[in-house]
A and B are shown apart, each in its own frame.
Chain A
């Protein structure tokens, strides 16, 4: 699969205290990726609403922002999904909610539904701000998965566009893969050897992916790879939180069934507990 640059960025907008910050973030990203910005508002079109959006967009318009505002009433999930489809949005931006009194973020129910069904990449922002906070460290998953190659490619593309200095590729290795239970010294030695072997294998796999990335995307970026033994999808969020990453790039979820939601795994953990800004690559 070839790298899909973000030509069109979409964002759902409502009149909330975060409106200004959301639009500012989206506009900045549009500039950085040199893409078109689509503001999606669920509701009837009125001139007051339009002028208010225009007002907020004012500073960016003078710099030549290419934008479009779409109004459509209906079910928010359906509206946002269908418009993203129609307008060929490559990256959809959604804001996260903050748990009261805690510095913890989670994805609200509407955004969660959109995330699960979106056909484009999704960026979940935990702290949209009017002022730009530079993105310095990107953590990306290196799962053994067909999607991973594109995810890593995109992560480098994003890092290049956002001028991030550091990328850590995390290989989450499922405990089941080790297949040796640590009971005593003997099994411990065995497990350590097996883990070491898996680590080497994973690292060489990641290395191969990196070698195929366009050179202009990898220059000036410190690349590190880290193997983690733990629950897939969850441990990487934990890791991103510990290393204080600014962006976590992950594979988009595969098909979701009812059971996946009941017994959360992979992406669902991240959605209930956002460690940082998360970019899901489709």
Chain B
């Protein structure tokens, strides 16, 4: 372990990068905060207060590393109910109480709470929350404000709203609806456009900038009033003095009423589940592979909620989309969360009047997109592929949540799951008899080799026992989980085990699940069975035109070609480029006869949730015989200058100023890299097309654009690789 002082110096060094990523995150947090607060019927500024209080407190006291905290989209549904039934002032009291409960959960070490819910029920609940957000805000996005009883009515009215929007006569409404549709389009197509400069500003901020620009255009250039109907403009954003001067009145008088406590419990439950799920997902993205202290984080989040409630904010939760943006922009510790809060303060201080120029439909378009992402048809498809019974759980939870409420919804999901499990096992005896038994045995077989055996059954009811044991194993070790003594394994467990598998592989460990072969022949275990053996794709030999041409090319160049999707991509994990990205699979693999050069199409994703972008690209991987320093080489551009500003250092190569000007060279071992980049190599790079070249010490990764390469580009790339290898040897 390094001494404390070094840690502090290291921390200081990361500050610039974290300021930068905090800034980018604040760009997305500002519109989302406003929108989420408005969707919950709270004053828009409440969302910003939440993010600021959360960012400051959780960054100081929290136990996670790269998470961002603020108002959460899952909270919209419950907050809406709390505010409409209790009134805003009592709702603040409920928020404060739920914050206290979350602190208690943290002290009781109930960070494992999220594991007690079946994953399909959680999916159903999230989808319901998505629909709640989408259904209500869709109408405002099209400048058609209506009031209905419940979410289903709002959903059913969507076609009428679209029809009405086509026939607007008032120009104010037409403009508002057009702004809404354009904003939605920006959210939808933003991730499809891979332009570095465009991507520097997150999509929600583009919407804010464009709509504010639109209003200034009319004011200063056309000299007209903003054509958007004033009732569809954001209103009631106080300036900083008013926020400080007028703290909200908090009304604790309803504390004796059952409705108050129903709201408190719903808020607590959803806040903690959303936070825990987000922390789990963000930990997977952390490039430094740290493990978050969830219980400590819960305490910090609870405290932040209490503070936020007193200042007129909402519940503070960990949010996934903003956290993933943070990771992608180089956030490396909690200080980025702090800086995100700081930038929000600056925005409010400097631009609170400008914010009033944002039209509501633009803001609501962002929310509609968020809601759509939560309830997207992809989720349903994914759940269906796991099993029909999961779909039942999903839809029961979804409908009960929409019709009755979140707590009843998630409870019904749990009950339905339990009933299905009992039916599948033809009786309760398996569960009743073994529920309380310590059914997991874990021991170290040899050095760094752990064996975990599970008995009886393993489902969401007792998964925490297995989880406790798995969490105690360092992720760089070998683990075997044996289910041969286990009669029943449910989908929630299989899914979580899959997550563990990913985690261990990413951290150079090995995680294997064995003993489920018997379950296949048994056919008593459809969950396990379907999770394990997804129906193999029978229609495999249908190659696309591109694939057929690649196959031809392989014959021409005497290469091996395989169109199969290859999930085993561990050899790529050590490249800097993939540190914050998740590789889905590689396919269309071309490799030469000795197997040290391979070219493949790759699908990877960066970010999570609404910030998630799936990218397909073509890359070349070269195995080297000798060790070389680790480095990253790319063309110099505006973006790199920004990154350089944020603390990434470009290594200059003496006597090759042209090369240094045109290329951006990154790496830890500066002396080694300078030695490695000799004249031959520099001339080679100078006289060839630009590629992103990366070394992980023993192999090279070369690729051009972040999209699939054409056949011609494939040839050029392969040739480039061949010659690079020659220069190198």
Contact = CB atoms under 8 A, between A and B. Distances in A.
Interface string B282-296: 000000001111111
B287 to A, nearest CB: 14
Nearest to B477: A192
Contact of B474 (A192, A269, A273): A192
B468 to A, nearest CB: 8
B640 interface: no
Interface string A72-105: 0000000000000000000000000000000000
Interface in B426-472: 437-444, 451, 453, 455, 471-472
Contacts of A234: 437-438
Interface in B489-534: none
A182 B296 contact: no
B455 A238 contact: yes
Contact of B291 (A185, A228, A235): A185
Given A183-B63, A230-B443, A242-B451, 8 more contacts: A181-B109, A182-B471, A184-B293, A188-B472, A188-B474, A191-B472, A230-B441, A234-B438
B548 interface: no
A205 interface: no
Give the residue among A183, A191, A273 with the most B Cβ atoms within 10 A.
Answer: A183
Interface string B8-45: 00000000000000000000000000000000000000
9 contacts: A182-B472, A183-B295, A185-B291, A188-B291, A191-B472, A229-B472, A235-B441, A238-B441, A242-B451
A235 B438 contact: yes
A221 interface: no
Interface residues of A, number: 23
Given A234-B438, A235-B438, A184 B63 contact: yes
B485 interface: yes
Contacts of B438: 230-231, 234-235, 269
A239 interface: yes
A227 interface: yes
Contacts of A183: 63, 291, 293-296
B482 interface: yes
Interface of B: 63, 109, 290-296, 437-444, 451, 453, 455, 471-472, 474, 482, 485
A241 interface: yes
Contacts of B292: 184
A54 interface: no
Interface in A152-199: 181-185, 187-188, 191-192
A227 B444 CA distance: 8
Majority-rule SS of B interface residues: mixed
A188 B472 CA distance: 7
A229 B291 contact: no
Interface in A217-232: 226-231
A120 to B, nearest CB: 29
Closest 7 pairs (CB-CB, A-B): A231-B438, A184-B293, A183-B293, A238-B441, A228-B443, A184-B291, A185-B291
A230 B442 contact: yes
A242 B290 contact: no
Contact of A185 (B290, B296, B444, B482): B290
A226 B443 contact: yes
A190 B650 CA distance: 38
Contact of A241 (B294, B443, B485): B485
Nearest to B471: A182
A239 B295 CA distance: 32
Contacts of B294: 183
Nearest to A185: B291
Contacts of A269: 437-438
Contacts of A187: 293
A263 to B, nearest CB: 9
A23 B713 CA distance: 83
Given A184-B292, A192-B474, A241-B485, A227 B437 contact: no
A182 B471 CA distance: 7
Contact of B453 (A185, A226, A238, A273): A238
Contacts of B442: 228-230
A210 B472 CA distance: 30
Contacts of A227: 443-444
A246 B127 CA distance: 52
Contacts of A181: 109
Contacts of A229: 442-443, 472
A248 B453 CA distance: 18
B453 A242 contact: yes
Contacts of B293: 183-184, 187
Contacts of A228: 441-443
Contacts of B440: 230
Contacts of A192: 474
A273 B63 CA distance: 41
A239 B443 contact: yes
A108 to B, nearest CB: 16
A226 B443 CA distance: 8
Nearest to B439: A238
Contacts of B109: 181
Contacts of A239: 441, 443
Give the residue among A184, A231, A241 with the most B Cβ atoms within 10 A.
Answer: A184
A191 B451 CA distance: 18
A280 to B, nearest CB: 20
Contacts of A185: 290-291
B508 to A, nearest CB: 15
A238 B453 CA distance: 8
A184 B441 contact: no
A203 to B, nearest CB: 12
A51 to B, nearest CB: 43
A230 B485 CA distance: 17
B266 to A, nearest CB: 27
Interface in A41-73: none
Nearest to B433: A272
Contacts of B441: 228, 230, 235, 238-239, 242
B123 to A, nearest CB: 27
Contacts of B290: 184-185
A141 B685 CA distance: 67
A189 to B, nearest CB: 8
Nearest to B444: A227
A124 B440 CA distance: 24
B692 to A, nearest CB: 31
B499 to A, nearest CB: 17
Interface string A254-282: 00000000000000010001000000000
A35 to B, nearest CB: 35
Nearest to B64: A184
A206 to B, nearest CB: 15
B567 to A, nearest CB: 27
Nearest to B63: A184
A235 B454 CA distance: 11
